[in-house]
Every structure is written in C-alpha cells, then in structure tokens.
Amino acid sequence: MNRVILASASPRRRELLGKLGMDFEVIPSGAEETVTEKEPYKVVEELSLLKARDIFDKQEKTEGLLVIGSDTIVSYNGEILGKPENEEHAFDMLKKLQGNTHFVYTGVTLCYIKNGKENVKTFHECTEVTFYPQSDAQLWEYIGTKEKGSKAECMDKAGAYGIQGQGALLVEKINGDYNNVVGLPLARLGREIKAL
C-alpha cells in the first residue's frame, strides 16, 4: 500500500499499528457513531466501517490507498458497555465485570484502492477476559488512577478499564488476542493487510 491512513485518534491504536513497521498517517474520523445493529460483533463492524468510509470518502482515490477504521466495545451478559459517562458510570460497569468473564470485540474495516477499484473488507476479533473479584474500595481506587495527563485512566476506555495500564491488575486471565483488548487485533490485521 502506498498511502495508509488510520482513521482513529486513539494513541493505543497508533502505537499498535506502528508495530507493523509501515508508514501511516493519522486522520481521526469525526463521523457520528450511530448504529443499527444489536449484536456486539455487528456493532463494532458497523462502527469501524462508518469511521473508515468517513475518511476514505474524503481522500483522492489513488492506487494503493488504504484507510483503516476500528472500534472496540465490551460485552457482558448481552449488554454492550462503551466508554463511561462519568466516574459513577465507570464504577457501575466495573462492578458488573468484577469476578466475571466478559467479551471484548474489536471491529476493523479496510477501505482500499487496488487495480483502480474501491474495495472494502470488514472483520472482527473477540477476546474473553476474566476479572478477579474486587471490593468496592479497590474499584474506586482504580477509578482514581490517572494516566500521564490528568484524566482518569478508565474514562476513555470501553468497559471502563485499560488492560495496558493499571487495569491489568483487575484481570485474572484472557483467552484470545491481548492486543484486541487494547484496541487493535494486530496479528489478524497484519495478515489481512498482507493478503491485499
């Protein structure tokens, strides 16, 4: 691919994509995140397509253009948990997840030009995550954890935790791709891009 664009503002996705060793630009999508689907894997696929198309449609359609859109959600007992609205909402989410197993879905869409034609490939990965049982005090302590900036670590993450930060202390085990929980199923993405 001659020109690769990541349609996401996520620093975690940027860092993960960088591990594939290719040059890319970051142009975050500003698309309204409205969904018509209910199944978790369909929701993330729909949102990733929305983000990728938003940026792809604004580019000059040159050979070798690739736009990558992605979205991650947490699903527990059929309920989709996105980013928390406030600390109380974060606590409610983490309270549900403590001592239980949930699923992290990441949808990825590749919009690309090959042989002068527009192509779209959408897929998802799912990782099973089990949390240790936690007391309310432990959950509030985690919610108070700040990242490098001043924002609480949990506030911009689906399911109100970041496995790559202090949230790792909540996790008993995972079954599947760790990077998928961070926000990008790197091994699958690398294989899909190679196949283009």
DSSP state of 45: H
| Block residue for tokens 């490939």 | 121
Contact 49, 69 (CB under 8 A): yes
User: Any residues with CB less than 8 A from the CB of 196 and at least 6 apart, and which?
Assistant: 1, 66, 110, 112, 114, 119, 121
Contact 145, 81 (CB under 8 A): no
Q: Which two tokens stand for residue 139?
A: 């959950």
Q: Which residue has the higher pLDDT, 123 or 162?
A: 123
Number of domains composing the chain: 1
Task: List pLDDT tens digits, range 125-150.
Answer: 999 999 999 999 999 999 988 765 55
Mean pLDDT of 31-49: 93
Element (H, E) at 90: helix 87-97
136 is catalytic: no
Residue 8 has pLDDT above 60, yes or no: yes
Separation between Cα atoms, residue 37 and residue 166, nearest integer Å: 32
Question: What mean pLDDT is reported for the chain?
Answer: 93
| Residue 24: domain span | 3-195
Cβ density class 166-187: b for 16+ within 10 Å, e for less: bbeebbeebeebbbbbbbbbbe
Q: Which of 23, 54, 57, 71 is catalytic?
A: 71
pLDDT digits (tens, 9 = 90+) for 147-162: 655 567 788 888 999 8
Q: Do the beta carbons of residue 108 and residue 122 sit within 8 Å?
A: yes
CATH number at residue 82: 3.90.950.10
The model's pTM is 0.92
Q: How many CB atoms lie within 10 A of CB 60?
A: 7
